[in-house]
């Protein structure tokens, strides 16, 4: 079914003419539960992220970029398919036993499908979370030539485990090995193997989410710095960690150093000026395993965390680097979201862009060439914690809570230009604007099996 869908797409749309020998390589690093304020280039004060700061200095910061959702699986589905959570197939973290999550449908066309069709070698390294092993949307059936990591996001809650997936093979690993290191090293091997390009390297890493586990040599300096928390024990998914507060900066700094290793490798191979590097996060900061997002001010000036549709749950720290193509040391406040990357990469790769997407190409903003299409609005829905919806149009944002029980519950309304922390509800003073955003919510939500509003059972 996926091959048929691809064929129909490519017969229906004209491609952009790009010289095949200069198709840009694409590296996409998706951090897990990293908050908007968790990088020093986005305001973090308790620790620094020097290599990501360098990446921002040589590229562009997107200061109003949003994740696809407020939790893992739907955020990844929006990224892979170019559809927001009112339209994409996976809208929650629905579990399958004994391992894995709800799959995408077999005819879903992914970013990797399109890039592979365009001649790219495609590899995914990290946490998949979009279909159980052998399902119709496991990585090898979703456009990826190679996969190494966690198929199941539940299994990915621990950093010391006894197995990972290598393609469709489950392989044993030593339980004292930090799995993030194995996964990131495998991604670097993929880049070396395909340095002649073009390649798409998708890195949905697990840092810094879930269990607060990090190698002790990384934790040691932060245990000294945050010694007041030595009596704290963080517990998550069977892990018990003394002073989990020290683990969080250790985990982020390890990721920071690995992004630095990746950038250094691109330079050593002489392909950095032909490689787009995107760094972002799948949703806002978590509270798991003893992590304290308030202590680290992980959401910066924003309200909310993971599982919220307030800004802190969905706005993501985002950096794009492409030397010679993306201007260095600049910021853009264009409204953008995770579902924009599929059309962006299609355009930059000279590929056809499917119709019917919610995403728009960000290529004009990134390269300074052409006219940037603007979103009419951005939309999210979340079917846990009573059911939530949110829509943003320009500076205005509406947030509805309790939608499972009452799909017509009165939303809150905020002006983000004046109130980025969403502290003042303007629903009563701006009824006309609120009514327009409520109508957008209704239009953006396409009913899907097991993802309807209006039932108190969820």
Pair 5, 109: CB distance under 8 Å: yes
The pLDDT tens digits for 364-398 are 999 999 999 999 999 999 999 999 999 999 999 99
pLDDT for the residue numbered 300: 97
pLDDT for the residue numbered 449: 82
The encoded tokens of residue 356 equal 């019917």
- Closest to 127 (Cα-Cα) out of 149, 110, 154: 149
pLDDT for the residue numbered 456: 44
pLDDT for the residue numbered 12: 34
Strands 396-401, 388-393: parallel, antiparallel or unpaired by DSSP? Answer: antiparallel
The fraction of the chain above a pLDDT of 90, given in percent, is: 91
Pair 44, 386: CB distance under 8 Å: no
The encoded tokens of residue 377 equal 């609005």
pLDDT for the residue numbered 161: 96
The position carrying tokens 């900061």 is 285
The pLDDT tens digits for 196-229 are 999 999 999 999 999 999 999 999 999 999 999 9
The pLDDT tens digits for 324-361 are 999 999 999 999 999 999 999 999 999 889 999 999 99
Pair 162, 173: CB distance under 8 Å: yes
Which pLDDT band holds residue 2 (cuts at 50, 70, 90)? low
Contacts of 321 by beta carbon, 8 Å cutoff, 6+ apart: 55, 58, 59, 60, 263, 276, 277
The pLDDT tens digits for 89-128 are 999 999 888 899 999 999 999 999 999 999 999 999 999 9
Tally: H helices and E strands in the chain: 11, 18
| DSSP 8-class letter at 101 | B
The position carrying tokens 């908007």 is 36
Residue 182 CA to residue 206 CA, distance in Å, equals 12
- Closest to 70 (Cα-Cα) out of 430, 444, 413, 385: 385
pLDDT for the residue numbered 15: 36
Fold type of domain 378-444: Arylsulfatase, C-terminal domain (3.30.1120)
Q: How far is CA 443 from the centre of its chain?
A: 25
pLDDT for the residue numbered 21: 55
Asked whether the bond before 198 is cis by omega within 30 degrees of 0, the reply is: yes
Over its C-alpha atoms, the chain yields an Rg (Å, rounded) of: 21
pLDDT for the residue numbered 262: 99
Q: What is the pTM of this model?
A: 0.95
Q: How far is CA 21 from the centre of its chain?
A: 29
Q: What is the CATH number of domain 2-367?
A: 3.40.720.10
Mean pLDDT over 274-284 rounds to 99
Phi, psi of 284 (to 5 degrees): -75, 180
The pLDDT tens digits for 30-82 are 999 999 999 999 999 999 999 999 999 999 999 999 999 999 999 999 999 99
The pLDDT tens digits for 406-421 are 999 999 999 999 999 9
Which pLDDT band holds residue 451 (cuts at 50, 70, 90)? confident
- Domain extents in the chain: 2-367, 378-444
């Amino acid at each position: 079914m996926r091959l048929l869908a691809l064929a129909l797409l490519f017969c229906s749309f004209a491609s952009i003419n790009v010289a095949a020998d200069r198709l840009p390589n694409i590296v996409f690093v998706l951090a897990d539960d990293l908050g908007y304020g968790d990088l020093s280039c986005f305001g973090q004060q308790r620790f620094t992220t020097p290599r990501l700061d360098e990446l921002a200095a040589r590229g562009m910061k997107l200061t109003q970029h949003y994740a696809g959702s407020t939790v893992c699986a739907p955020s990844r589905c929006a990224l892979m398919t170019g559809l927001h959570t009112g339209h994409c197939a996976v809208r929650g973290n629905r579990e399958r036993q004994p391992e894995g999550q709800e799959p995408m449908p077999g005819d879903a066309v992914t970013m990797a499908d399109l890039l592979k069709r365009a001649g790219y070698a495609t590899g995914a390294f990290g946490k998949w979370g979009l279909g159980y092993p052998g399902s119709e949307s496991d990585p090898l059936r979703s456009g990826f030539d190679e996969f190494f990591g966690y198929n199941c996001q539940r299994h990915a809650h621990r950093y010391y485990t006894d197995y990972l997936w290598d393609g469709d093979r489950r392989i044993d690993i030593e339980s004292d090995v930090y799995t993030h290191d194995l996964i990131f090293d495998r991604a670097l091997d993929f880049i070396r193997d395909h340095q002649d390009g073009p390649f798409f390297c998708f890195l949905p890493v697990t840092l810094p989410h879930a269990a607060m586990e990090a190698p002790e040599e990384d934790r040691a300096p932060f245990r000294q710095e945050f010694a007041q928390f030595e009596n704290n024990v963080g517990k998550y998914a069977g892990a018990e960690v003394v002073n989990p507060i020290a683990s969080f900066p250790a985990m982020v700094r390890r990721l920071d150093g690995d992004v630095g290793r990746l950038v250094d490798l691109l330079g050593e191979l002489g392909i950095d000026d032909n490689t787009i590097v995107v760094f972002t996060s799948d949703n806002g900061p978590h509270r798991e395993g003893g992590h304290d997002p308030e202590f680290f001010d992980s959401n910066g000036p924003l309200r909310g965390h993971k599982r919220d549709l307030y800004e802190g749950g969905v706005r993501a720290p985002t950096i794009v680097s492409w030397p010679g193509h993306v201007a260095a040391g600049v910021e853009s406040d264009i409204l953008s979201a995770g579902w924009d990357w599929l059309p962006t990469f299609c355009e930059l790769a000279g590929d056809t862009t499917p119709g019917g997407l919610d995403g728009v190409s960000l290529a004009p903003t990134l390269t300074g060439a052409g006219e940037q299409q603007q979103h009419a609005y951005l939309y999210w829905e979340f079917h846990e914690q009573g059911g939530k919806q949110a829509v943003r149009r320009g500076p205005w944002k509406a947030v509805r809570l309790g939608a499972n029980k009452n799909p017509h519950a009165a939303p809150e309304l905020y002006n983000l230009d004046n109130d980025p922390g969403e502290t003042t509800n303007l629903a009563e003073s701006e009824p006309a604007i609120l009514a327009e955003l409520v109508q957008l919510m209704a239009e953006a939500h396409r009913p899907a099996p097991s993802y309807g509003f209006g039932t108190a059972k969820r």
